[in-house]
Structure 1
Amino acid sequence: MSPTIVHAVVLFDGNNTHSDATVTFDPASGNITSVSTSSNGQFPEGATIIDGSGHTLIPGLIDSHIHVFAIHLPAGEDESEILRSPLRCGVTTLCDMHSDPPTVRQRWQAIADDLEQARKSNSTVSLSDLKSCLYGATIEGGWPKPIVLGHNPSNELKAFVETWPKVTVENAPDFVKNHKANGANYIKLMQENCCSLALPTDSIPVATLEMQTAVVKAAHAEDLPVVAHALSADMTEVVLKAGADGLTHTFVDQPPPQNIIDLYKQTQAFVIPTLAVLSSLTNEMQDWRDEFTEIARKKGLVNDFALQTMKESLAMKDSAAKLEYAFETIKKLRQEGIDVVAGTDSSAGLKGTGLGPSLWMEMLLYVEKCGMSVTEVLRSATALPAKRFGFDDRGVIAEGKRADLVLVKGNVTEDLRALWEGEGIVTVWKQGLKAA
């Protein structure tokens, strides 16, 4: 395979913007071989040359909170779309935040086969890359049992939930060691008392601070980052005190209390806001869901079932919960220098979400509702998640890093909407190979 050279392009390298850059990458190795912040017009013979004039090159996007299971899909729906639709949207890496290990292993194998076939036949790739915590550190009867079982669970689904881990203080080290041995990239805590939801508060068992601290201690001993689910301020307090490295949601039950802001500053934990799913939970921003559903339809990004799902809403909040509280919290955390990492909590069939397009909506919400600049938002979906999760091979455009790249018509560093408006994304490469 000959090298590919994109020149005369606006480059956002994951941290900074350069107005006239040249990037060379090798599809055979899958890596970037050189980055220059100027164009010299002299290229090696046999290289594939792409004139990037009028375009922006950015690192492949990372959605730091999704699920790759298919439990919300009706029988017969195409599970391969779980990994296909994000890649069409420039999302080259997905971070799964609780799925059964057999499903994750199946997805990993599909990704490996897709890459091998593309290299053998000099063709295109079609699946995003995947990181996973495998199962979260669930407790007997605890979260996310109520949302997975729903109103009318099948016996099969009940049996599936019974296979989840039943983590305790005593078995936390074994839980972590087994997960690491099975390929987990990080560990996830579940901290939920349902006070933000249309469910009675404390209607399910709630993990203790002692248990969560034990899991964090065990994970850090194995050099694994720890992230945590929490939808309320009091549950956020527990996992921050336990030492979690990041939160996989922000809370919607109240405005940001100063003690929570102080805990974030003290621990330097990051936050994955997941505003896309929170807006579905609180049944707000319907016009935004409609808009991005129409964008996805026009561009052929997702299938018909996903289009219908994207327009719907979970609508299962407690009466006091408001999305505005999430906006306020992210504004305050950002002002205090806390890292905001982009993620959506999308999964196939989950109302109000679409794997791929929801990340675009998420990112635009950061700009329009949380006061973040476009470059901050681009960083939140590229360099920052790579740094905070320890994905040292991606997230930035630099020599030696993976050639996970997205070429966009227009200057996306000035207007985020360039990702989807007009021609939008022109080409996606994963490990130097064009995406289908």
Structure 2
Amino acid sequence: MSSALLIKDVRIFDGENEIPSGSVLVEDGLIKEVSKGALEAPNASTVVISKPGHTLIPGIIDGHIHAHIDEENTVLGQALKFGVTTVCDMHQEVENLAELRNRALNDPNSADFKTASQGATVLGGWPAAVITAHDKSEETLAKVAAWPDLKNRADVEAFIRDRIEDKADYIKLMHEDGNGLSVKPTLPSLELQKDVIEIAHRNGLLAVAHATSLQGTLDVLRLGIDGLTHTFCDQPPTQEVIDAYLASNAHCNPTLVALGSLTTEGQQEQESYAHDPRASKFLNSQGKQNLCRCMALANDKSRVKYAYQSVRELKAAGIDVILGSDSAGPALGTAFGLSAHHELATLVSKCGFTPEEALRAGTSLVAKRLRLKDRGRIVEGLRADLVLVEGNPLEDIDHTLDLRGVWKQGMLCSAYDSLVA
């Protein structure tokens, strides 16, 4: 672990509340002390950073990504450069898990990694239907053919045992009926989905679900799902869906930026982020190109404004809304790390969140709802996952991109070495 670190003379947002000027002491990768005033360095080897006019926030947690492995480390490495200290993968090839976890554990320049491992899939269902519609290579078809094809309760029992063997952090199921899309996947039966949720819960695992239609959302909420990994965009929200969320105490991880790419209505904002000099320095040429394109998978019924409206109404009803970008290599219009900042800004500009509420959604609240008990706040005893930004993001959320330092477990990401040089 790193030597002691003292960050002082900064505004602190601890994940819940603001400290106008304070100090944070880090030892052995953990937060040792948080003070509303000054703290003294415990020894001469302590790294001391004084940054008046700056704000220290918890490391951002992206509650929805899909990782891949490449030599450039454009997933975990890029995420960390953007202040996203934890990524939560929502469907992954089992053979990738060891390498992704190894990078997260041993590379101080890689974000931490949580995963569902393989999602609870069926033949012809989501996401196979959309992947094979655009990529019919032998490699892709073979990969998809190896995914789980759940048919009955016995299959589900075996699937959950496999996820436990994989040390999955939660269970992901797919309930995509295609109501708002240009593709029509096979929809698992409600009986099968109920089995997935019940058996996950029996084994102490959280269960979250993909659904991008209002009806699909209602279906899984009524089965007792713990959270949705998208909101819907095929029609405006109804009181029925609000009531279903309240009855199940589920959270919503809306992935608004991804839905804007799905409908193509978000392209202008995507391009703006791709060309922002604060962001572009951390993107390669392919990443910039992908960010300027759209997935364009929605049909003519879908509108991103319905997604924004749903989040406004969920928030007004007291339902937990957490941060997730759905960033993925094939997901045009997204970029690892950067899209989390875009999502924060969208919560504020389109959904009526204050900057503080948006930051809470991307730190303490996402940690709470995904059961990540050792992070998401700047309080004594938790991981020293920290982000330093210039300015005050509690007044203007755009300042989250004015990044000046990122620490994972007290270790400074090398992209910010000049901070202490």
What TM-score comes out, normalization by structure 1 length?
A: 0.92
2:155 corresponds, among 171, 182, 186, to 171
Alignment of 1:262-411 (within 5 A): 262-295=243-276, 299-411=280-392
* In structure 1, C-alpha distance between the alignment counterparts of 2:40 and 2:62, rounded to whole Å: 35
* In structure 2, C-alpha distance between the alignment counterparts of 1:87 and 1:58, rounded to whole Å: 14
Q: Which residue of 1 aligns with 2:113?
A: 130
Cα deviation 1:350-381 (Å, max 9, x = unaligned) = 21111111111111010000000101000101
Alignment of 1:136-155 (within 5 A): 136-155=119-138
Relative distance call for 1:285 and 1:144 in structure 2 (3 A) is same
Work out the number of aligned pairs and report it.
412
Instruction: Report whether the alignment pairs 1:429 with 2:410.
Output: no
1:398 counterpart letter in structure 2: V
**Secondary structure of 1:104 counterpart:** helix
Q: Which residue of 2 aligns with 1:96?
A: 89
Q: Which residue of 2 aligns with 1:54?
A: 53
Gaps in structure 1 of 5+ consecutive residues:
71-76, 115-124
Q: Which residue of 2 aligns with 1:196?
A: 180
Relative distance call for 1:298 and 1:324 in structure 2 (3 A) is closer
1:272 counterpart letter in structure 2: N
Relative distance call for 1:152 and 1:188 in structure 2 (3 A) is closer
1:183 corresponds, among 159, 163, 167, to 167
* In structure 1, C-alpha distance between the alignment counterparts of 2:182 and 2:94, rounded to whole Å: 30
1:425 counterpart letter in structure 2: L
Q: Which residue of 2 aligns with 1:120?
A: none
* In structure 1, C-alpha distance between the alignment counterparts of 2:356 and 2:230, rounded to whole Å: 22
1:430 counterpart letter in structure 2: K
* In structure 2, C-alpha distance between the alignment counterparts of 1:396 and 1:134, rounded to whole Å: 26
- Note if contact 1:297-1:307 (Cα within 8 Å) is conserved in structure 2: no
CA RMSD of the aligned region, Å? 1.5
- Note if contact 1:177-1:222 (Cα within 8 Å) is conserved in structure 2: no
* In structure 2, C-alpha distance between the alignment counterparts of 1:204 and 1:273, rounded to whole Å: 21
* Deviation of the 1:40 alpha carbon: 4.9
* In structure 1, C-alpha distance between the alignment counterparts of 2:100 and 2:277, rounded to whole Å: 23
* In structure 1, C-alpha distance between the alignment counterparts of 2:204 and 2:58, rounded to whole Å: 26
* Deviation of the 1:178 alpha carbon: 1.8
* In structure 2, C-alpha distance between the alignment counterparts of 1:41 and 1:432, rounded to whole Å: 17
Alignment of 1:233-272 (within 5 A): 233-272=214-253
- Note if contact 2:3-2:45 (Cα within 8 Å) is conserved in structure 1: yes
2:149 counterpart letter in structure 1: K
* Deviation of the 1:84 alpha carbon: 1.1
* Deviation of the 1:151 alpha carbon: 2.8
* In structure 2, C-alpha distance between the alignment counterparts of 1:429 and 1:263, rounded to whole Å: 39
Gaps in structure 2 of 5+ consecutive residues:
415-421
* In structure 2, C-alpha distance between the alignment counterparts of 1:132 and 1:41, rounded to whole Å: 39
* In structure 2, C-alpha distance between the alignment counterparts of 1:260 and 1:154, rounded to whole Å: 39
What TM-score comes out, normalization by structure 2 length?
A: 0.95
- Note if contact 1:226-1:245 (Cα within 8 Å) is conserved in structure 2: yes
* In structure 1, C-alpha distance between the alignment counterparts of 2:6 and 2:327, rounded to whole Å: 34
1:16 counterpart letter in structure 2: N
- Note if contact 1:196-1:231 (Cα within 8 Å) is conserved in structure 2: yes
- Note if contact 1:10-1:52 (Cα within 8 Å) is conserved in structure 2: no
- Note if contact 1:296-1:357 (Cα within 8 Å) is conserved in structure 2: no
* Deviation of the 1:296 alpha carbon: 5.8
Cα deviation 1:57-98 (Å, max 9, x = unaligned) = 00000010000136xxxxxx6451111111111000000000
* Deviation of the 1:204 alpha carbon: 2.9
Instruction: Report whether the alignment pairs 1:159 with 2:135.
Output: no
Cα deviation 1:297-325 (Å, max 9, x = unaligned) = 76411111111000001112111110000
- Note if contact 2:291-2:332 (Cα within 8 Å) is conserved in structure 1: yes
